[in-house]
Structure formats: C-alpha cells, structure tokens
A and B are shown apart, each in its own frame.
Chain A
C-alpha cells in the first residue's frame, strides 16, 4: 500500500496572461480512488499536468511525501499521469508504434509490471505493431490505461481513460482498476466526463469549476446530502429558505432546485414537495452548469465542505 500524500498549496497556473488555475489547495491521500469532475476547459488536464510535473506551475507548491515533485526523480518515481493521446497529432510520441511506446514506458517506470502490460494488451486485443496515430480513439485510450495500470505507481492519474471505449472495454477497465486498487492500495485520480458510470468507483469526488476546487468530499456523503426538490414555486422557496440551493428550474408555477444540505439541516416539513436523490452527473449539472446560480446563506459561505468560488480577490 502506498503511504505518501500528494499535496498542492496555492497552485496557480497561467498560460500567457490567462490564469487557468486560481490558487488550488488540494491533498490526495493514499489508498483512495478520486474522481475529478468538471466542464470542458475547467482546468482538469492542466491541474493533472502541474500535479505531476509535466507542466511547470506559475506559483505555488506541489509535493509528494514532503518532496517537491518538479524535476525530482525520488518523488516522480511514485507518480504516473497517463495522458490522453490526441488522435489529431501524428508526430511526437504519437508517431511511435505501440510496442515501442510500451517499451519506453517499461524503461522509465521503475515498478513497471511487464506481465500485466502484456495481459492487458491481449485482453484489449491491441495491435502493438500499429503506430499510435493510426489507432482509433478507443484503442488510444486502451494504451493510456495499460500505461497507467502497469506503471504500478503509488499515485496514478488518468485523464479521460474511457473516452472512445465501447461499453465492454469500459467494463473491463473498471474491473481491472478495482482489482488493482484492492490488491495494491494504489491511489487513482480519474478525470472523466462519463460520470454516471464511474461514480460508484469514486470514494471521493473533486469538482473543478473555472480553475477552482468547488468541492472535495466523500462521494457517498456528498450524494446523501444532495437532494432534488420540486413542487410549487412558493413551497419550494419556503422549504429551502436558509439552505444552499443550486440550479433553480421554473416551469409555470412549478419549481425544481437542487439542495446541498449541511450537517444538521433538513428540508422544512409541511409543504407538498417531491424530493429525489441526485446522482453525481446531475449534481455536476447543478453545481457547474450554465444555470447553476445558487444561493448560499451567509452562515455557510466558505465552510470547509462548500467552497463557493473561494479566493475571489485573485
């Protein structure tokens, strides 16, 4: 089981004058599976790149087990960020054959599991003599999955690992991931847009919105306190007074909202309302969608559980 924590403090990343990540504070514990969720352009890949020293930070620090990760082989030996391969790029790493790509990985990752890599190649029926740029999107995802799993790194980051994979391959990937996690206690952080499928995997979920961490919480606890409420608009408003309300939708006299309850809070009784649990995907729409305007009572702002935008002065 891995023991090190990956911690980043006040991480800022700029591309030119544009600030992509705005002072991120994040702590990744060993022996967990994290889900990283956010819209396109929220900064997920940039965050993963900077956490793994593939991209330099503009300011802030990233450490693994107390060691800075930037250009530090001792820290990097415990980390693997298997990047999404871009089918539109025919040069660089994409110009290599799959077998050469895997060979390179086997040399650089100190705990590389050759047998696991070979088995996954067979399971996924991957053609290793093909150049990466000639692979389909799904096959490229298989390559990134093989790298991530066979690297045996304590902290493994996957960016859109199931993009383009068919349902059978996705199922195989989830099973492999769980089996690897159970056997080794490695930490995985998975960035994905296929949230509904993956939510059962995530022990903790990190919501990233516009370069800020909106939420980082146990998935189960989060879903337990997220409720979708609908009914007459005045009843909904009255019942949710003082609660953190997201994503209001109005249809005639009816209204629906998503509520994130804090400890000790509950929906007021005595109103004719319909309430339903919210899954992770709908919660993301509520928190990060275009209509995600929310009202949060003053008493709850900037609590540890709900970071509402954070660092506005930046």
Chain B
C-alpha cells in the first residue's frame, strides 16, 4: 500500500497539471467556437469541447504509459502502483471536467443541471472509452515499442480525420445538436460501451505493463 500511496501522491500532482492543460484546451476551444459561430450557442458548445478533450485523453493516456514506464519504475514504483495510479489520475481529470461542465450547464445554459445529469452517463461513458482506448494503445506501445509510434500516428490521423469530416459535413445541419440528441437518447448504452472499452483496454494494458521492462 505504501507504494500505491506514493504513486497516488505523484499522480495527483500530475493530474493538477493535466487538468490545467485541459482547461486551456477548453478555453481555446470556446474562443474558437465563438469566432466560428455567428453568435454563441452555449448549450451546444460543451459537446464540441468534450470531443476535443476525449481526443486529448486518448493521446495523453497513450503517451502517459510511454513516459511513466521509463520514469517511475526506475524510481522503484511497482507496475501495479503505476497502473492504478494512472487510473486514479484519469478519474481525477475526467471527474474535474465533469464538475466544471456541470457548473457550466447550471450557470449558463437553459437546460441547467437537469440537462447535464441527463447527459452525464454518456459523457462519463465517452471518458471511460477514451481512457480505455488510450490504455489499449499505451499497451501496444509498451509491447511493440517504436513500431507502435507508427500506429499511434496513423490512429491519431484517422481519428482527427473522422472528427474533422463529421464536423464539416454536418456543420450546416447543426452537428452539435445532433450529437447532443444522440448522447441524451443513448446515454445508458454509451456508458456501458465506454465501461466495456475501459475494462478491456485496461486489462490488456495491465497484462502488458506487468511484464514490461524499462528501456531508455
């Protein structure tokens, strides 16, 4: 437990930095959104920002394992503590974003907290899926090393492409509202799918991480 408590302490510090980074991304996204749309639609904004944050979490979670394995294991952190510390850090980041979003919904939008809670399972599910996908890709990187960087690059390109295409293709149809409706109508299923992705991605990562060696 003492190893885990050190790990939690370190990852709490890191989480603070990454939450700050997420806020910068969200603020930049909000300003861009205001510039792009003729008059802000405060209810649609969170969905677009969330997508950016999901992408960020995938890439961040993936890169995190690459960095931390070569950093904290040489400092005698066990692989188990690294894994659980990472999950805890992701939970902190996702939790903080959800709290900030809830505050935003409650203070700025007409749907208020009631609308936010209707969306919350879907938002949480998407966070779980992002973290799980990041863990899966992180595991692939740990297992296959440099070759996995190519996978990472291709994957990032594909995700960015799909996201960009969707936004541009449906921009006239009000993509943000479409997403919002989809999220609220399928919240339960999105949550369950997200948890399944988190469980499978996390398990694969746990197995790979448990046998990984420090390389640097």
Contacts and interface: CB of A to CB of B under 8 A. Distances in A.
Interface of A: 49, 52-56, 71-73, 76-77, 79-83, 85-86, 89, 91-96, 101, 103-105, 107-110
B2 A83 contact: no
B216 A89 contact: yes
A69 B66 CA distance: 23
Interface in B61-97: 66-67, 69-81
A83 B9 contact: no
A109 B71 CA distance: 13
Given A72-B78, A73-B81, A76-B78, 15 more contacts: A49-B214, A55-B213, A56-B211, A71-B80, A80-B76, A83-B216, A85-B216, A93-B71, A93-B216, A101-B71, A103-B13, A108-B10, A108-B72, A109-B75, A110-B6
B161 interface: no
B3 interface: yes
A7 B75 CA distance: 20
A68 to B, nearest CB: 12
- Of listed A79, A89, A104, residue having the most chain B CB within 10 A: A104
Given A92-B70, A93-B67, A93-B71, A55 B76 contact: no
Contacts of B6: 107-108, 110
Nearest to A85: B216
Interface in B103-127: none
The 7 closest A-B pairs by CB, nearest first: A73-B3, A108-B75, A55-B213, A92-B70, A93-B71, A76-B76, A54-B214
B213 A107 contact: no
B153 to A, nearest CB: 13
Contacts of A91: 66-67
Given A71-B80, A76-B78, A104-B72, A55 B214 contact: yes
Contact of A96 (B7, B9, B10, B71): B71
A92 to B, nearest CB: 4
A157 to B, nearest CB: 11
B77 A108 contact: yes
B150 to A, nearest CB: 15
Nearest to A83: B74
Interface string B180-216: 0000000000000000000000000000001101101
B95 to A, nearest CB: 22
A82 B69 CA distance: 14
A108 B6 CA distance: 6
B67 A95 contact: yes
A135 to B, nearest CB: 14
Contacts of A73: 2-3, 76, 78, 81
A71 B66 contact: no
A53 B74 CA distance: 9
30 contacts: A49-B214, A54-B74, A54-B213, A55-B213, A56-B213, A71-B210, A73-B3, A73-B78, A73-B81, A76-B78, A77-B2, A77-B76, A82-B74, A83-B216, A92-B71, A93-B67, A94-B216, A96-B71, A101-B71, A103-B13, A104-B10, A105-B75, A107-B6, A107-B9, A107-B13, A108-B6, A108-B76, A108-B77, A109-B76, A110-B6
A104 B69 CA distance: 13
A33 B67 CA distance: 32
A92 B75 contact: no
Given A73-B2, A96-B71, A79 B66 contact: no
A301 B12 CA distance: 57
Interface in B6-28: 6-7, 9-10, 13
Contact of B74 (A81, A96, A107): A81
A227 to B, nearest CB: 41
Nearest to B79: A71
Contacts of A82: 74
A83 B216 CA distance: 8
A180 B211 CA distance: 34
A155 to B, nearest CB: 11
A104 B75 contact: yes
Interface string B152-181: 000000000000000000000000000000
Given A91-B66, A95-B67, A108-B10, A83 B214 contact: yes
Contact of B73 (A54, A85, A86): A54
Contacts of B78: 71-73, 76
